[in-house]
């Protein structure tokens, strides 16, 4: 059911995007840039690029919630479905095993993840956090898909609203020092996950010495 709902929302997204592409191609490409920023740098980059395009805050919130909810429903459903089938599905085995390893590595942070800790994990906007990873942690902890989504989706929505409103204030404050200064923050948000993984790998290599 979650997957079916995700497919319906994805179809609606495509219809809206194609309509925007026909009516206002510049606006449609800005939205596409926001989506690409999301996959490169996460939710904060998603917000930052929207702010850089001077989109109204309610519109940024709507775009992020709509897209990320659709993405979560589809991707989480597929990963959970394939989770126990890695041996039989060789084409996806490496991908699913890498996700399993990453998720199980994250769960070692706490011995037992409660409803609150998973919700907080999803709410936080850092490179290692998010709705998909939070829902997979819930899956490992024994929550069914329905309970996991009821836990993760509201946390994601609240997080998007909180961080977008806060970044709206932050960008306004930065603009007082110069209109073009915000671009440096947006670029940092885009590359921050890469910096995090570089730092993480460097620490691992240092420990292995």
Dihedral, CA atoms, 66, 67, 72, 77, nearest 10 degrees?
Answer: 100
| Helices and strands (H and E) in the chain: how many | 9, 0
Question: Among candidates 52, 42, 55, which has minimal Cα distance to 184?
Answer: 52
Q: What is the pLDDT along the chain (209 residues), one digit of tens a residue?
A: 888 999 999 999 999 999 999 999 999 999 999 999 998 888 888 999 999 898 999 999 999 999 999 999 998 888 777 766 665 666 555 655 666 566 656 665 555 667 888 888 888 887 777 888 888 888 777 788 888 888 899 999 999 999 999 988 888 888 887 777 888 888 888 888 777 777 777 776 666 66
């Amino acid at each position: 059911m979650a997957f079916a709902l995700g497919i319906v929302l994805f179809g609606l997204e495509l219809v809206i995007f194609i309509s925007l592409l026909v009516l206002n191609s510049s606006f449609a490409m800005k939205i596409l840039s926001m989506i690409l920023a999301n996959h490169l740098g996460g939710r904060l980059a998603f917000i930052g690029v929207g702010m850089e395009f001077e989109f109204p805050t309610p519109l940024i919130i709507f775009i992020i919630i709509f897209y990320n909810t659709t993405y979560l429903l589809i991707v989480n459903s597929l990963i959970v479905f394939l989770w126990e089938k890695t041996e039989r599905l060789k084409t996806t085995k490496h991908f699913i095993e890498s996700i399993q390893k990453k998720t199980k590595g994250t769960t070692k942070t706490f011995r037992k993840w409660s409803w609150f800790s998973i919700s907080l994990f999803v709410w936080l906007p850092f490179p290692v956090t998010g709705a998909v990873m939070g829902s997979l942690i819930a899956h490992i902890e024994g929550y069914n898909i329905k309970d996991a989504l009821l836990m993760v989706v509201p946390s994601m929505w609240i997080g998007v609203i909180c961080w977008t409103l806060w970044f709206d204030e932050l960008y306004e404050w930065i603009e007082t020092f110069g209109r073009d200064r915000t671009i440096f923050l947006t670029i940092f948000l885009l590359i921050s996950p890469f910096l995090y993984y570089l730092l993480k790998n460097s620490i691992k290599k240092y420990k292995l010495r």
